[in-house]
Chains A and B, each alone.
Chain A
Amino acid sequence: MEPAVLKALNAARDERRAVAVVTDLGDGRDRVVSEDDAIPGELGAAIAEAFRSGKAAPVSVSGRDFFINVHLPPVRMVIVGAVHISQALAPMASAAGFHPEIIDPRTAFATPERFAGIELSADWPEMVLAQRPLDRWCALVALTHDPKIDDHPIRAALEAECFYVGALGSRKTHGRRIERLIAAGADPDAVSRIRGPIGLPIGASTPAEIGVSILAEIIGERRKSRSAPV
């Protein structure tokens, strides 16, 4: 591997950019390609497929063997609301291989005592997300029911094309949320992507059960969405 390839690959991973390393197994030459790079022919098609599936694969093109290794950013689960459900959901999300992060401007809720070992920001979502923007490899879970806190990150998540956007609240609450977002200029098609009421319908009742239903819904969406990370 070329030193420049290794550096570029690690830089892309730091910046949460999806890249692939394409190695010619015959002569050992390699290069880093991104999704936007137009690579012609069979090799280009194989690279595009690797980005879609998230799977690394060897490929033979006109008698030459290549290996395509895709590196997709790890999945972040951004939870808005340092509430009881979040306390149950965050450790389960960690166990399932997600990186949970909790945002809540209410300092009485967002305390390290309530969320030991979990990334926590006691600040407004608009401030936190300006520092660390959402992207396609994020799941956004809005749990406060408070439009002042939830609405901004929900819109940001739709604009960033997060692979999952879910919001807590009854059908009535969710209906009002949709009206509010559309009135504020959000794209109605995008708004229809919001999972609300949040979570798979398993009759969840306790905070932990609701956490399970949300986590299961996110896992389902991640595995369904072919460009989501493996």
Chain B
Amino acid sequence: MVAAVNETTPTQTDHAADHDPLRFAESAMRAGRDVALATVVETWGSAPRPPGSHLAVDADGLFEGSVSGGCVEGEVIVAAMDVIATGEPRMLEYGVADETAWRAGLSCGGRIRVYVERVG
């Protein structure tokens, strides 16, 4: 059931074309750039992206993927910069009930928890 290694399947090509955050993170790391990975770990209500969704950010602020429909990405990227600098993982929470909702809330009314960690 395992496809031959070294075979480039169309799915792999599609991953690259789809701006895959995990491949982006690996190529940033291989190029010697610091990179952080944000992951949706929990959602309540109508959250736009399910648990497991990734956003990868490098030290230059280049990013791929998403943790919401664009609602909180800006704040996550800022937090990721901090995580890259300190190396300390952070848990972020966004939602309508949260203070940050006014700054960077989820317009859909859901709530999400996002784990941000440095690669390496």
A residues with a Cβ closer than 8 A to B are 1-3, 6-7, 9-10, 13-17, 23, 25, 28, 55-58, 67, 69-70, 73-74, 76, 99, 101, 119, 131-136, 160-161
Residues in A neighbouring B25, C-beta threshold 8 A: 1, 6
Q: Are A3 and B119 in contact (CB under 8 A)?
A: yes
Q: Are A70 and B52 in contact (CB under 8 A)?
A: yes
Complex: how many Å from CA A214 to CA B51?
30
- Could you mark each residue 35-52 of chain B with 1 if its beta carbon is under 8 Å from any beta carbon of chain A, else 0? 001010110000000111
Q: Are A160 and B41 in contact (CB under 8 A)?
A: no
15 A-B pairs with CB atoms under 8 Å apart are: A3-B119, A6-B25, A6-B119, A10-B23, A13-B15, A16-B3, A17-B2, A25-B89, A55-B51, A56-B51, A99-B14, A101-B10, A132-B7, A133-B4, A135-B2
Residues in A neighbouring B15, C-beta threshold 8 A: 13
Complex: how many Å from CA A99 to CA B42?
29
Q: Are A160 and B1 in contact (CB under 8 A)?
A: yes
- Could you mark each residue 11-31 of chain B with 1 if its beta carbon is under 8 Å from any beta carbon of chain A, else 0? 110110000001101100100
Q: Chain B, interface size: which category?
A: 20 to 34
- Is B120 at the interface (CB under 8 A from chain A)? yes
Complex: how many Å from CA A73 to CA B3?
11
Complex: how many Å from CA A7 to CA B29?
10
Which residue from chain A places its CB closest to the CB of B1 in the assembled complex? A135
Q: Are A15 and B3 in contact (CB under 8 A)?
A: yes
Residues in B neighbouring A2, C-beta threshold 8 A: 119-120
Report the minimal beta-carbon distance from A161 to chain B, rounded to whole angstroms: 8
Report the minimal beta-carbon distance from A93 to chain B, rounded to whole angstroms: 13
- Is B58 at the interface (CB under 8 A from chain A)? no
Report the minimal beta-carbon distance from B62 to chain A, rounded to whole angstroms: 17
Report the minimal beta-carbon distance from A94 to chain B, rounded to whole angstroms: 10
